[in-house]
Chain A
Amino acid sequence: SQTIHQWPATLVQPVGSPLSLECTVEGTSNPNLYWYRQAAGRGLQLLFYSVGIGQISSEVPQNLSASRPQDRQFILSSKKLLLSDSGFYLCAWSPGLAGVNEQFFGPGTRLTVL
């Protein structure tokens, strides 16, 4: 069966510090991968998605970036965090097969920028 991991689970960082969040998927190949942010009391905002190694689509201009160095690894980064980057970050995967588009979510990372 497939599993998705995210780490760290929680993170407290000062403004201006760098960020690296990691997501890995097990038990599948060639998945589509997604990064979402969920601000307090709000819905989900799609940040990035990837259909293959090195292929990244950005949904919202911001100071975050994403990379996919391996088939089942997706990394969210920032060089300098802003207060507005605080939130709950969710990674998700989908099978990437024709007609199959449900997404499966990881446990999330709670980021607090002080």
Chain B
Amino acid sequence: AQSVTQLDSHVSVSEGTPVLLRCNYSSSYSPSLFWYVQHPNKGLQLLLKYTSAATLVKGINGFEAEFKKSETSFHLTKPSAHMSDAAEYFCVVSGWGAQKLVFGQGTRLTINP
């Protein structure tokens, strides 16, 4: 079975500073891992995905995440926050090729001017 824990329910950073959203996962076999973003009253948009290729995954809008098997982590980072990054972020795990995804509870990112 898979599970995912997002370690912070809310993160607040200043515009232009780095962003770090933390995610730990649990999986009994090689997982697929994803980060999704949701702006208010919108659907979810896929930011990036890891599927056992390169451990450093680059996504859209300057985000990237690093898969660390020894730490069972998949943290999301961005070097410089922009006001438009304010949103809810979900870390998601799935078994390889599985039909269902397991979502974390989400981290709300606030950007201060």
> Quick check: B103 and A49 within 8 Å, CB to CB?
no
Q: Within the assembled complex, what's the spacing in Å between the Cα atoms of A101 and B2?
A: 14
Contact of A108 among B42, B101, B106 (CB under 8 A): B42
> Quick check: B41 and A32 within 8 Å, CB to CB?
no
Q: Within the assembled complex, what's the spacing in Å between the Cα atoms of A92 and B44?
A: 9
A92 CB, min distance to chain B CBs, angstroms: 8
Write the chain B residue with the least CB distance to A100.
Answer: B97
Whether a CB of chain B sits under 8 angstroms from the CB of A103 is yes
B86 CB, min distance to chain A CBs, angstroms: 16
Q: Please indicate the chain B residues that have their CB under 8 angstroms from the CB of A46 in the complex.
A: 100-101
Whether a CB of chain A sits under 8 angstroms from the CB of B80 is no
Whether a CB of chain B sits under 8 angstroms from the CB of A105 is yes
> Quick check: B43 and A49 within 8 Å, CB to CB?
no
Q: Within the assembled complex, what's the spacing in Å between the Cα atoms of A99 and B101?
A: 13
Asked if A43 meets B99 with Cβ closer than 8 Å, knowing A102-B46, A102-B49, the reply is no
Q: Please indicate the chain A residues that have their CB under 8 angstroms from the CB of B67 in the complex.
A: none
Q: Please indicate the chain A residues that have their CB under 8 angstroms from the CB of B45 in the complex.
A: 105
The 7 closest A-B pairs by CB, nearest first: A105-B43, A105-B44, A43-B105, A99-B97, A44-B103, A107-B43, A108-B43
Whether a CB of chain B sits under 8 angstroms from the CB of A106 is yes
> Quick check: B97 and A44 within 8 Å, CB to CB?
no
Q: Please indicate the chain A residues that have their CB under 8 angstroms from the CB of B98 in the complex.
A: 101
Asked if A32 meets B99 with Cβ closer than 8 Å, knowing A43-B105, A99-B51, the reply is yes
Q: Please indicate the chain B residues that have their CB under 8 angstroms from the CB of A100 in the complex.
A: 97
A1 CB, min distance to chain B CBs, angstroms: 14
Q: Please indicate the chain A residues that have their CB under 8 angstroms from the CB of B100 in the complex.
A: 46, 49
Q: Within the assembled complex, what's the spacing in Å between the Cα atoms of A43 and B97?
A: 22
Q: Please indicate the chain A residues that have their CB under 8 angstroms from the CB of B99 in the complex.
A: 32, 49, 51, 94, 101
Q: Please indicate the chain B residues that have their CB under 8 angstroms from the CB of A105 in the complex.
A: 36, 43-45
Whether a CB of chain B sits under 8 angstroms from the CB of A98 is yes
Whether a CB of chain B sits under 8 angstroms from the CB of A90 is yes
